[in-house]
Amino acid sequence: MVPAQKVRELLTLMARKPDDAVTLALGRDMCQRLGSGALMTGQIVQLGTTYVLTVAAESCATGDEIGREQAQAAGKDDVLHALGTALSSMRGRLGESLPSIHAHDKPLAEATTSSLGALKSFSLGDRERGRGNDPGSVPFYEAAIRQDPDFALAYARLGTVYSNTGEDAKALDAYKEAYRRRERASEREQFYIDAHYFTSVEANLARASQMYELWRQAYPHDYVPVHNLGTIYLEAGEPERALQAFRDAIALNPRNPLSRGAAAALLMALGRFAEARRTAETQLADLGESAPPRLTLYTLDYLEGNRADMAEQARHLHGTPSDLERAATDLGIAAYEGRFAALDAAMPSFLQQAETQGRVGYGRSRLADLLLVRALAGFTRDTRARAKEVLSSKPSDDSTLGSPLRWRSPATRRAPAR
C-alpha cells in the first residue's frame, strides 16, 4: 500500500498538482515508477437503485489482470458492506493466506463507518491535516461525526486536532467518546485510540508507551507510533530521546510534516538554533508552505534579533488560523521582556481572536500561562484578583485555570501524529 503522502510526492515529481486525481493511466505510470507488484482499480455503476461494484488488480510489470471481483449493493447505504465483501475475496486472489484474512477481516462498516458521507468528510479532514492545517480540519471531522455518531476514529482524530490546537478540554471529551466506541475500529485504529486515551485522559504514559510499542511491532513501516513515542519521551523529560524518535519517524516517512516540525521546534527548545533553522527551512523547501515551520522561524528570528525576518514570517501567517499562535508568541515575548502594560493591552484582542476561531480553550490556556508569569514577576495582588474574575466567569466544565500551568511556546506544544 502506498501512503497518500507518497502519492502526493510522486505527483509533484511528475509535474502534476499534489491533489490531482489518480486516473488509470496515471496509476499505471506511478506503479511502474514505484516498482510495485500490482495496481488496484475500482468502478461503481448505478443501475436503478442498485449499485454494481467491480474491484480488479493488474500486474504493474505486464499490465495483465491478476484478479477481478464484483459485488452488488441494494442501495447507497449498503455500498461499503458490498465493497468489503469484494475486497475480502480479492485478498485471497492476491496471495494472502486464509488465516491472515480471517484474523484481519472485520467488515468495513464495523471497522470504520457505514456512512459514505461520513467517510468522505473524514477523508477531507485528513487531507487538510496532510497540508499542515489542523484548525481547518475540524469542521470536516465534526461533519463526519454528525453523519455517523458512532464513527470512533473520527472522534479520535478530532481529539488529536483539538490537542494540537490547545483545546485540551475538548480533546479529552473526544478521546473519551472514541474509547467508548473502540470496537468500531480496525486493529491499527484501536492502537491509535487506546494510546491517545491513555496519554491524554488517564495520563498513564507507561501504558500509552506500551500501546505505541505494540503498534510499532505490528506495523513496522508506520511512522505514527514512532513519532508519538517521541511526544511521550518529551512529556517524560527525555528531549534527546524524543528528538531521535522524531528523526526515526522522518526516516520512515520523509514527507511527514509533523515529525519534521516537531524536530525543528525541539531543536530550538534545546538551544540548537542553527539546526532548528535548517530543519524548518528544509521542511518549507521540501513540503511547501505550512504554519509549524513558520512559527518556529518566527520565534527563532526573535531570539536572534532578526525583526525584519519576523515580519516576513508574520506575513506568511497572516490570514491563516495559525496567526493565533503567532499572536500568542507575541504575548509571550511581551511577558519575557517585562512589558506587562503592553501585554494587558493586547490580551483582550487576542481573546476575541481566539473566540472568533472557536478556540476559547486555547485562549484561556494562554491567559492562564500569562497570569502565572505575572504572579512570578511579583504582581501577586493584581493577578489574584484577575484570576478570581476569570474563574468566576468560566464554564463549569473548563478546568483551564484549575491547576498549575507552565508557559510553552506554540511551536513546542506536543503535537501527536495522525
- pLDDT, tens digit, for every residue of 159-173? 999 988 888 889 999
With beta carbons less than 8 A apart as the criterion, state whether 19 and 54 touch. Answer: no
**Cα(70)–Cα(83) distance, rounded to whole angstroms?**
9
- CA pair distance 301, 416, nearest whole angstrom: 26
Which residues lie below 8 Å from residue 105, measured CB to CB, with a gap of 6+? 88
Q: Which helix (H) or strand (E) element contains residue 258? A: helix 257-269
pLDDT at 402 over 50: no
Tally the residues of the chain: 418
3-state secondary structure of 333: helix
At residue 51, φ and ψ (nearest 5 deg) are: -115, 130
Q: Encode burial over 3-38: b for 16+ CB neighbours within 10 A, e otherwise.
A: bebebbbbbeeeeeebeeebeeeebbbbbeeeeeeb
Sequence-distant (≥ 6) Cβ neighbours of residue 178 within 8 angstroms: 152, 153, 155, 156, 159, 193, 196, 197
Hey, where are the domains in the chain? 4-94
Cell triple for 261 = 516540525
- Asked if 367 and 359 touch (Cβ cutoff 8 Å), the reply is no
The pTM for the full model equals: 0.76
Cβ partners under 8 Å of residue 244, min gap 6: 230
What are the tens digits of pLDDT across the range 289-320? 888 899 999 999 999 999 999 999 999 999 98
pLDDT of residue 399: 46
pLDDT the model gives residue 184? 85
Q: Which residues pair with 95 in a beta bridge?
A: none
Residue 394 in 3-state DSSP?
coil
pLDDT tens readout for residues 359-395:
888 898 899 889 999 899 998 888 888 888 777 765 5
Mean pLDDT of the chain: 87
The yes-or-no verdict on residue 101 having pLDDT over 50 is yes
Question: Residue 72: which H helix or E strand, with range?
Answer: strand 65-73
d(CA 239, CA 260): 15
Give the H or E element holding residue 38: strand 38-47
pLDDT at 268 over 90: yes
DSSP assignment of 336-384: HTT-HHHHHHHHHHHHHHHHHTT-HHHHHHHHHHHHHHHHHTT-HHHHH
Write out the three cell numbers for 120. Answer: 468522505
- Confidence class of residue 408 from pLDDT cuts 50, 70 and 90? very low
Q: Encode pLDDT of 323-336 as tens digits.
A: 999 999 999 999 99
Q: Report residue 412's pLDDT band, with 50, 70 and 90 as the boundaries.
A: very low
- Read off the pLDDT of residues 23-71 as tens digits, 9 standing for 90 and up: 888 888 888 888 888 899 889 999 988 999 999 999 988 888 888 999 9
Q: Which CATH architecture has domain 4-94?
A: 3-Layer(aba) Sandwich (3.40)
Q: Which amino acid is at 239?
A: P
